[in-house]
């Protein structure tokens, strides 16, 4: 996720996932990828409009981010959502299949990345009017459990904050500054927070 003033691809630190080229069939290439990168633009806030901020990057179609001032500078992603897209739509297109996969036993991660105020909380948490990816995923997980009475499910939930390299458990006030260790028994080496388990 990212704000329109600073798409992930424009930062000097994070290289673009794919540089757009008319001659390459990116759809075919991307379908083989296990990791997909999606960009969501948020609209300018009223304060940004008052301050005369301008949009520097925009969504050109469903996969391209293009520079407003120099349209020949463009980056391609797996999916790009413009500022009028709803969180529900972002979820349906970019996240729901990960939830469905997880319910079938395929590990998956959905995470939001972006500069401050780019819309991570809005997208992941949301509010009553526009629930985010997390509540939508939990709702789907419970629906799938309900629709599959012949299988037993174990659902575990952690809610963690990583801030300035410090990991805190948001569900357990005692679980602050947790250490992260690798679980050697897990073949895919997932990171587990042992301190509170
Ligand atoms: N798609 C959107 N449509 C409308 N408003 C949005 C959208 N995305 C974000 N906003 C608004 O922009 C502001 C900043 O968004 P948000 O708090 O989600 O950013 P953040 O990335 O979580 O920031 P931080 O890293 O500082 O916590 C909020 O007021 C939020 O309501």
Which residue carries 């003033």 as its tokens?
5
CB count in 10 Å sphere of residue 52 = 6
Indicate if ligand 1 lies below 6 Å from the C-beta of 125.
Answer: no
State which ligand 1 atom lies nearest to the alpha carbon of 124.
18
pTM (two decimals): 0.79
Nearest-angstrom CA–CA distance, 99 and 50: 39
**Mean pLDDT confidence for 76-91:** 97
Judge whether 6 is annotated as a binding position: no
pLDDT band (50, 70, 90) for residue 74:
very high
Listed in order, the ranges of the chain carrying CATH 3.40.850.10 are 8-147
Whether the Cβ atoms of residue 168 and residue 174 lie closer than 8 Å to each other:
no
Query: Given this structure, which CATH class describes domain 8-147?
Result: alpha beta
Q: Taking Cα atoms as reference points, which of 110, 129, 128, 99 lies closest to residue 40?
A: 110
ipTM over 0.95: yes
State which ligand 1 atom lies nearest to the alpha carbon of 112.
21
Judge whether 148 is annotated as a binding position: no
Own/partner pairs, 19-26, CB within 8 angstroms, 24+ separation: 19/75, 19/76, 20/64, 20/74, 20/75, 20/76, 26/63, 26/76
Judge whether 126 is annotated as a binding position: no
Indicate if ligand 1 lies below 6 Å from the C-beta of 116.
Answer: yes
pLDDT (0 to 100) of residue 22: 42
**Mean pLDDT confidence for 120-146:** 97
Q: Say how many Å lie between the CA of residue 147 and the centre of ligand 1.
A: 34
Minimum CA distance residue for ligand 1 atom 3? 42
Nearest-angstrom CA–CA distance, 67 and 184: 45
B/e letters for 161-181, b = 16+ CB within 10 Å, e = fewer, are eeeeeebebeeeeebeebeee
Q: How far separated are the first and last CA of the chain, in Å rounded?
A: 31
Judge whether 120 is annotated as a binding position: yes
pLDDT band (50, 70, 90) for residue 175:
confident
Q: Say how many Å lie between the CA of residue 118 and the centre of ligand 1.
A: 5
Structure-model confidence comparison of residues 140 and 175, the more confident one:
140
**Mean pLDDT confidence for 155-177:** 88
């Amino acid at each position: 996720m990212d704000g329109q003033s600073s798409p992930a691809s424009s930062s000097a630190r994070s290289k673009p996932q794919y540089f757009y080229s008319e001659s390459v069939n990116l759809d075919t290439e991307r379908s083989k990828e296990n990791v997909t990168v999606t960009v969501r633009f948020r609209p300018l806030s009223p304060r940004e409009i008052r301050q005369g901020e301008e949009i520097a990057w925009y969504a050109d179609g469903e996969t391209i981010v293009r520079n407003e001032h120099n349209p020949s500078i463009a980056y391609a992603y797996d999916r790009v959502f413009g500022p009028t897209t709803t969180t529900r739509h972002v979820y349906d297109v970019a996240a729901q299949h990960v939830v469905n996969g997880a319910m079938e036993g395929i590990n998956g991660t959905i995470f939001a990345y972006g500069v401050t105020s780019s819309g991570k909380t809005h997208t992941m948490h949301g509010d009553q009017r526009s629930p985010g990816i997390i509540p939508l995923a939990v709702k789907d997980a419970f629906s799938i459990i309900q629709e599959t009475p012949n299988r037993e499910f174990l659902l575990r939930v952690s809610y963690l904050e990583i801030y300035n390299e410090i990991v805190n458990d948001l569900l357990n006030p005692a679980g602050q500054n947790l250490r992260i260790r690798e679980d050697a028994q897990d073949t895919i080496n997932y990171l587990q927070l042992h301190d509170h388990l």
